[in-house]
Each structure stands twice: as C-alpha cells, then as structure tokens.
Chain A
Amino acid sequence: MRAQLFGTCLVDSFFPEVGEATVKLLRRFGVTVTFPKGQTCCGQPAYNVGYQAEARSVAGHFLSVFRGEDPIVTPSGSCAAMVKHHYPALFRDDPKMRAAAEQAAGRVFELSQFLVQVLRAHEKGFPGKGKVTYHSSCHLTRALGVLEEPLILLQSLRGAEFVPLPDAALCCGFGGMFMAKLPEISCALAEEKADSIVATGADTVTGCDAGCLMNISDAMKKRGSPVRVAHLASLLAEGI
C-alpha cells in the first residue's frame, strides 16, 4: 500500500521528530510513504480568521501538490479536517477546483484514523511504558469525528497504563491564530488543561495535534512540570 504524507507546516518547521515517527509507523505496517514535494500548509491560519482569498491560494497549492489516488495521511486532526470539510466549501463556486477538493477530501486521513481503520495497527499492539493520559483535540473529535481511534491505539500499548483525562474534550486554548489574537484567554485555558493533566498523575500526555501539544507543553513548562508531552506518533513509534 502507498500513502502520501502531509507533514503539516508545524511538524515540518518545529517538530520534525513527529514526521519521522509517522514515517516509521507507516513503514512498519508495510506502507510505502511518499512525501509530495512542494507541500507547505493547509491554509488554516488564513481560513480560520476569515482570509478567504489567502486560504484559497494556499488550498489551491495543496491540491496541486497532492495529486493521484493514494490516501493522504497527516499527523494532525485539525489539518485533516480542514481538507476534508473546508476545502470543498472554499471552492464551492469553482466547479473544477471543487472537484479536486472533493477528491482530496475523500482520501484524507488523520494518522490514528489511518492506523486503526486501514492498517489495523492496534491488533498487533505496541510496546509502551509508564502512565499515559490523552487530550482529545477539538477538530480531531468534533470536525473529523475521530473519537475512538487514538484510544484504541493507546489501549494497545503493552506495558503502559492509560489514565483518562478529566474534561479531555475541553479546548486547550490553542485555536491556531486564536493563540495570538487572545493570548490571555489562550494561556488561561492551557493552564486549566495543565491542571487536569497534572491531576491524573500521568507521566506522559499525548494527543494527535502538534499545535495543541505545543500549547499544552508551554503551560507545563511554565509550571516546571516533569510531565512529558508527546505526539501520539512519537509515543507509538518509539517502541518499534
């Protein structure tokens, strides 16, 4: 099986280790991974604050890079949701681009979704350790509808104990540009999230979106917490 990897701008620029872990995981399950050259960003920074023309230009670029029939896999629930739900809407009035958007929307997967639904990676399980809790990011769960897959994967971590996070569904305050536009609220929400994480007694918190994890990580660092913040891709890949 082949898959096109969309690294996302955040992972590409700030968290290459998440990209490498994603490649390792996919290969481990027999996937031939390609990294379409010229990929950049899905366009959310512009789309979410109302810059339609700019979002269209970036989305158009994405569609010109991701061609063909192979599934598009990305280690981000938010970027997957953008392609799946907002691309077709962005090109509502442009039949040609709309067709391309719908074609891409039909084959985009968030990583945990692909691992469970397509590769059934959880059946073999992964080596794990420690006490792990999980923040369910908003676009992953609400926009993309991926609720169970990350939990299924976490449960398949042999040797690790999973502890549920109270209020896991409450937004961490990242919100993309929201973090920059209303930093006071964003930080307050991240602190609240950090409180919940610390209260679980977990040594690791994981999730499926680098943006949220970055925001959470900052709040954890500010309080000097030793809790490790790791993307689910990294967590799963380190044992294999």
Chain B
Amino acid sequence: MSGAQTSLSFRSNAGKAVGNQKLRAAMKHAADTFGTKRIDAFAPVADVEAMRDRASAIREEVLKNLPRYVDQFVASATRAGATVHRAKDATVAKEIIRKILADRGARRIVKGKSMVSEEVDLNAHLEAAGMEVVETDLGEYIIQLEGEAPSHIIVPAIHKDRRQVGKLFSERLGVPYSDDPQVLTRTARKVLREKFLSADAGVSGANFAAADTGSLVLFTNEGNGRMVTTVPPLHVAILSIEKMIPSLADFPDFIRLLPRSATGQTITSYVSVITGPRKPGDATGAKELHIVLLDNGRTEILGGESRDILKCIRCGACMNVCPVYRTVGGHAYGWTYPGPMGLILTTLLTGMAKSHPVVDASTLCGACVDVCPVRVPLVDIILQLRRRKVREGFSDPKEKAGMALFGKVAASPALFALGQRLAGRFWPVVRVLGGKDVAGRMPAPAKTPFRRKAP
C-alpha cells in the first residue's frame, strides 16, 4: 500500500499529486494513449450503440436475478468438477484461500491479475502465513517490487514511466539498468518463468462467470494468466458475485466491448474459458480448481439506490477519460478502485465514514458516461452519493451552513438582491474570506447587476 494515503485524505493526496510533474506527465500520456486507442478501436464498428444497449441489458438482467444466477453458477461449476466457496466478506475469503493452500502444503504461489484479490488484500494475508506470493502480470509485478498498490484497474503501473521501472529492476533484481521496454519485459519474463515452473498453486481472478456452464472467462494479454491457471496443479480463482453472465452465448458482445473499452484492442491476446479442472485426456489445466465467490457488501448494494454500479465490467474506460483521475492518478483515491466507478465502489464498499471525501472527486462532466460500455449511470450515482453524504452528516459544517443560507437567499429575490449588493460592496473582504482558491479566481461583481438593466 502506498503510505498514508487514504480516501479520507483525498484532498491532500490530490494536492500532492497535482504537484508531482512526473506523475502528471505519465498519467496524461497514458490516459491520452488509451483514450485515442479506444476511439480508434471502436471507429470501424458499425453498431456500437446497439451493442452497448445489448450488453447493458444483459448486465441489467443479471442484477435483477443475481441470486438465481449465482446459484446456477455454483451448481454448474460444481458439476464441472470445481469446488465453489461462498465468502460473505474479505476476511472470510482470505481465510478460505489460505486454508485451501495450506491444506495442500502450497508455499509458492503465482498470481494472475485480480482486483478482487486487491480488494480483500489477499497477498498480505498469504505472506503472513509464510507463503511466497508472486504477481505475474508485468504491471502488477512492477508495483509488487515497489511495494505499491495498483493505480489503475487494467494498467496497474500506469503511474510509472519506463525509466522508473528500469531503475527499480536494476535495484531489486540486480540486472544492468535499461529503460528499453523489450529488455525490461524479457527480464521480468525470465524471473517469472522460474516462478511458474516451481509454483505449487496459481491464484487468479476472472472477468466473467457463465452461469449456464459454470465457466470462468479471463481476458489477458501477456499469457501469464493462462500459465497461472494451467501450469500449477492447483488453481484458486477469486471473483465477486456480480461477475455473472447468464450464458456463454452472451459473450460475443462482451468480447467485442471489453478489450476495446479497456485498452483499445480489438481483442485481447488470450481469452480463456475454464470449465472445471483438468479432465482425463485434457492437454492442460489445473488438477484441482477452487472458486471463491466474494460478496463483501454487494448484496447490500444490490438492494440500494446505487445498484447500477454492479453492472460495471471493470474495463477502466471511465478512469481514462476522467479529468480528475487523469490529473491525480489512482493512488490519491486511497483504496483499491479509482476513477468514477472507483469512487463509487469505494464509498459503497468501505462505507461513507471511511471515504466521503472521494465523492467530491468529480466535476460531473459526464465523460465517463459517454464511454461506459454497459451504460452505468456514473454521474447519477455520484449525485446520489453526494446526497447521501449530506444526509448522513458527513459534509463540512461550514459548507452546510453556507448551503442553508444559499437555499434561503436564492429562493428570495429580495435577499438575493441584497446579497448581490453586499458581495459587491464587500468584495475585497469576500475575496479574503473566500480565499485565493475560490473568490481569488473570480472577477469582482459587476457594479450594476444585469437585473437592473434587463428588459
């Protein structure tokens, strides 16, 4: 985890991030690159809007009947030979996984990229039990070496440039310095290959779970995901319950939407469909497969007004276009998920008391809504959360008093005109009270307001 940055200290985290020119440059470059690639990838697709509608409808159907789809998935995955575990929260999930691994004497664990495992802070728990956990996604590997958390859900090391990675590798791995991405990738690959071959177990996430067949579906680019799930004898997958999709037949739209939205690729290098453990005659696959389905507050979210966030398929497009995310990066948000969808999940999953400053982290510009492949109404949900913040008493007392005053003044023409006159007369004072950040950025009020010249 990255120091003392919590969601509660968002404002000061953001201030620091804004002053960090290296971070700003890396973020802008990466966000622009993904933004442009996304647009290019969708350009030749004729029926994007219809595709988004269909994908959105499928996700909506899943949410409407989530308990049923989860039960169906459990039954079909079990039939396919997997062992399915239900975990109501992070603590239970971590302990289930530790026990599965410990019972089989697994000590060397290779991991594929999984934000859900970040959400429950799995690595620390396994390490505390004496296991060696190695992240095998290149970005994840980089930040694991650095002792950081991911700053993007798809591109975990998005905040680092290649020179920083070169320095890190030469320090930690004792290799000669190079900032050539090819050399760096080769270095990581060499280290990781050994880890794969000696691993007792692989732990992965999953992008989707097909309820009808009990299959896990993983989109990956580096081939590490496939190795994690097939090379070691034991595979443990952890995913949250809302990753359900009714049927494998529903996938074509998601296969077209997810990679384009996420990285601007027309398709990822690998799309793996894992249905149960290796069967006699199979060429690859783990001998034993465990699937941990995490709730961790989702059932509660499902019953609330902000349930639509559970439609999210974690493509990351909303963060790439978010002006706030592009400026401060992911760590400033203080928890696992950053950007528009991240601030929503952070508030809903960790609670308003631990996260309320991040609900301010939006200009309400709506760029996120424009790109979301499954039409999550992000701005509407952010507004819902802001109302909740006020309702639950987490807003700043000065702001609250100011707003109460505004509610009265702006509903009364006489008070409004008086306020205008006072602001005009005492602008220098307002400027001082309002500080350089606010009033200091506004011009002085007009000598004669428009209302006195209007027809």
Contacts and interface: CB of A to CB of B under 8 A. Distances in A.
Contacts of A218: 441-442
Contact of B411 (A12, A37, A50, A60): A60
Contacts of B303: none
Contacts of B423: 13
B51 interface: no
A58 B450 contact: no
A61 B14 contact: no
A50 B352 CA distance: 14
Interface in B385-422: 385-391, 395, 399, 403-404, 406-413, 416, 420
B327 A185 contact: yes
B211 interface: no
Interface residues of A, number: 65
Contact of A40 (B28, B359, B413, B455): B413
A185 B437 CA distance: 11
Contacts of A5: 454-455
B14 A184 contact: yes
Which of B399, B441, B449 has the most chain A CB atoms closer than 10 A to its own CB?
Answer: B441
A61 B416 CA distance: 12
30 contacts: A7-B450, A12-B449, A15-B450, A18-B450, A38-B413, A43-B410, A45-B406, A46-B403, A46-B406, A48-B364, A48-B383, A50-B387, A50-B390, A52-B387, A55-B407, A57-B408, A57-B410, A60-B411, A138-B365, A142-B367, A142-B369, A142-B370, A171-B367, A174-B363, A184-B19, A185-B18, A185-B324, A188-B24, A189-B363, A214-B441
B32 to A, nearest CB: 8
A133 interface: no
A51 B407 contact: yes
B454 A7 contact: yes
Interface stretch (A94-102, A114-122, A175-183): A175-183
A176 B383 CA distance: 14
B453 interface: yes
B46 interface: no
Contacts of B28: 192
Interface of A is mostly: helix
A194 B371 CA distance: 25
A39 B388 CA distance: 29
Which of B327, B369, B423 has the most chain A CB atoms closer than 10 A to its own CB?
Answer: B327
Interface in A158-204: 169-171, 173-176, 178-189, 192
Contacts of B24: 188
B403 A188 contact: no
Contacts of A184: 11, 14-15, 18-19
B454 to A, nearest CB: 4
B363 A178 contact: yes
Contacts of B323: 170-171, 173, 185, 189
B386 A16 contact: no
Contact of A181 (B328, B360, B409, B420): B360
A178 B386 contact: no
B172 interface: no
Contact of A182 (B19, B361, B399): B361
Nearest to B411: A61
Interface in A36-74: 37-41, 43, 45-55, 57-58, 60-61
B334 to A, nearest CB: 14
Given A23-B454, A37-B413, A54-B406, A16 B448 contact: yes
Given A50-B385, A192-B28, A214-B441, 15 more contacts: A11-B450, A13-B445, A13-B446, A13-B449, A18-B450, A40-B413, A43-B410, A50-B387, A55-B407, A138-B363, A139-B364, A175-B362, A176-B364, A180-B437, A184-B14
B451 interface: yes
A18 B420 CA distance: 17
Interface residues of B, number: 59
A224 to B, nearest CB: 16
B445 A40 contact: no
Contacts, number: 181
Contacts of A48: 364, 383, 386
B397 to A, nearest CB: 13
B408 to A, nearest CB: 8
Interface of B is mostly: helix
Contacts of B365: 138-139, 142, 171, 175
Contacts of A60: 411
B364 A175 contact: yes
A176 B180 CA distance: 44
B438 interface: yes
B443 interface: yes
Contacts of B19: 184
Contacts of B409: 40
Nearest to B404: A54
A55 B364 CA distance: 16
A150 B388 CA distance: 36
B438 A183 contact: yes
A143 interface: yes
B233 interface: no
Which of A5, A138, A215 has the most chain B CB atoms closer than 10 A to its own CB?
Answer: A138
B410 A19 contact: no
Nearest to B10: A182
A20 B450 contact: yes
A35 interface: yes
B396 to A, nearest CB: 9
Interface in B349-381: 359-367, 369-370
Given A50-B389, A171-B323, A179-B438, A40 B410 contact: yes
A73 to B, nearest CB: 12
A63 B28 CA distance: 43
Interface in B17-34: 18-19, 24, 28
B443 A14 contact: yes
Contacts of B411: 40, 57-58, 60-61
Contacts of A51: 390, 403, 406-407
